[in-house]
Amino acid sequence: MPLFALVDCNNFYASCERVFDPRLIGKPVVVLSNNDGCVVARSNEAKALGIAMGVPFFKIRPLIREHRVVALSSNYTLYADMSRRVVEVLSSFTPDLEVYSIDESFLDLAPLNLSDPGRFCREMRATVLRWTGLPVSIGLGSSKTLSKIANRLAKKKAEAGGVMDLASHPVRTESALASTPVGEVWGIGPRSEAKLLALGITDALRLRNAPEGLIRKVMGNVGVRTVLELRGMAIHTLDTEPAQKQTLCRSRTFGRATRELGDVRDAVVAFASRTAEKLREDGLVAGALATFIMTDRFDADARQRSASASDPFGIPTNDTQEIIGAATRTLSRIWKDGYAYRKAGVLLLDLVAGNDRLRDLFESSRKRAMRRMAALDEINARFGHGAITFGLSSLKAPWRSRTNRLSPCYTTEWTDLPVVQS
């Protein structure tokens, strides 16, 4: 029987910022999404002010000023590197580890045969804090869903000291489930929550005890799996090998809307080019590409339109030129004048490992293209991202995101390295 530990970094993005700028410690901090649009992370002090997850930044500006909340643009380069460090520390404790998201990992501790899993977790927690500067919380349970609930309580209850063990503690588990609102259960989103509330199933304990047939009727098999997990059955297993990606997407909401095909084409070319780079980085080739454009769904006065089209590649590819070609081709098929477009994106589909792809008559010209792409990637790696690009991407283009509050890339750029003053 597996023993899941869910290790989750507390307020991850805000904590990363604090590691390199200790002046932020003790202060309310929020981290913002693309375009500095909404709040995607909050320090405890910011949560205490009632700032909700996902709230549009402009709506809380008065609050920000009044309480001197520090607002930062998100610095994904920094967060990704810090995430890698946390995983490295955790891997030194056990190889049975699944990286679930940028700030969460599931571990299976059962193979370690620990006499005191709680103590082991407290030690892991202290080590991550010492070696990375990041505070984490750890929940223990016999299923992933239960370890999620344990983790939530580890964060909420100060006396837990960052670790909550629900495995083989039936009484503690009952009261934990009773105090967990049903909408907080992993896998229960807003839609299912509404249906369950209508049935009087308000908390995780009631969900656990609900008849399977009823749950199947309102939520299908997905819901039944959640119920079984709450009962302690490990339906979801540990997935140590990250599954191969099936799609790869680059999209952005523009800094402001545009009616010009030229603007949107520039953006789509840039997205296509970035998807191609990412594809090569991951050692993949794509079998098809889709491009989508849409107007501003929040602008009630604007005429709305959203369109997409896809094209297969004859032979799966990761060649930037080919991918840009397909993206501009599909864009011209879906383009219609007279709309103010606010968002666009490029999706690569049917991904397969690069060396699995079919060979064809044009293999040698393909090899030249591959060498060209390898050179391109190397130059960009050496001289900075964007040193060589396809097409002209003006820095002032309207589709560029606004990120006015970006912190330095402390750990990945020599020029941003923190300096210790003596």
Residue whose CB is less far from DNA, 168 or 409? 409
Tell me: does residue 189 bind DNA (CB under 7 A). yes
Tell me: does residue 103 bind DNA (CB under 7 A). yes
Q: Which among 114-122, 248-256, 320-328, 382-390 is the span making contact with DNA, rule CB under 7 A? A: 248-256
Closest distance of CB 38 from DNA, Å: 5
- Interface mask toward DNA for 263-302; x: CB under 7 A: ---------------x-----------------x-x----
- Interface mask toward DNA for 128-157; x: CB under 7 A: --------------------x---------
Closest distance of CB 12 from DNA, Å: 8
Residue whose CB is less far from DNA, 160 or 249? 249
Closest distance of CB 348 from DNA, Å: 8
Choose which of 180, 251, 273, 318 interacts with DNA (CB under 7 A).
Answer: 251
| Half-sphere exposure in the Cβ direction for 174 (13 Å, CA) | 3
Tell me: does residue 37 bind DNA (CB under 7 A). yes
Q: Give the span between the Cα atoms of 357 and 404, in whole angstroms.
A: 42
Closest distance of CB 289 from DNA, Å: 13
Which residues within the stretch 204-243 sit at the binding site for DNA (CB under 7 A)?
220-222, 243
Closest distance of CB 111 from DNA, Å: 24
Amino acid in the structure at residue 98: E
Tell me: does residue 101 bind DNA (CB under 7 A). yes
Q: Give the span between the Cα atoms of 289 and 400, in whole angstroms.
A: 22
Rounded to the nearest 10°, the torsion over CA 392, 395, 399, 400 is: 130
Tell me: does residue 245 bind DNA (CB under 7 A). yes
Q: Give the span between the Cα atoms of 24 and 94, in whole angstroms.
A: 33
Which residues within the stretch 356-415 sit at the binding site for DNA (CB under 7 A)?
401
Q: Which among 22-30, 106-114, 189-197, 362-370 is the span making contact with DNA, rule CB under 7 A? A: 189-197
Which residues within the stretch 335-354 sit at the binding site for DNA (CB under 7 A)?
343, 345
Hey, what are 67's tokens? 């309480």
Closest distance of CB 72 from DNA, Å: 14
Q: Give the span between the Cα atoms of 233 and 253, in whole angstroms.
A: 42
Closest distance of CB 109 from DNA, Å: 20
Tell me: does residue 185 bind DNA (CB under 7 A). yes
Give the residue from 249, 205, 4 showing the smallest Cα distance to 108: 4
Tell me: does residue 33 bind DNA (CB under 7 A). yes
Tell me: does residue 259 bind DNA (CB under 7 A). no
Q: How far is CA 300 from CA 60, 254, 338, in A?
A: 22, 18, 16
Choose which of 133, 135, 161, 187 interacts with DNA (CB under 7 A).
Answer: 187
Closest distance of CB 242 from DNA, Å: 9
Q: Give the footprint of DNA on this chain (CB under 7 A).
A: 33-35, 37-38, 40, 54, 56-58, 61, 100-104, 148, 185-193, 220-222, 243, 245-253, 256, 278, 296, 298, 343, 345, 401
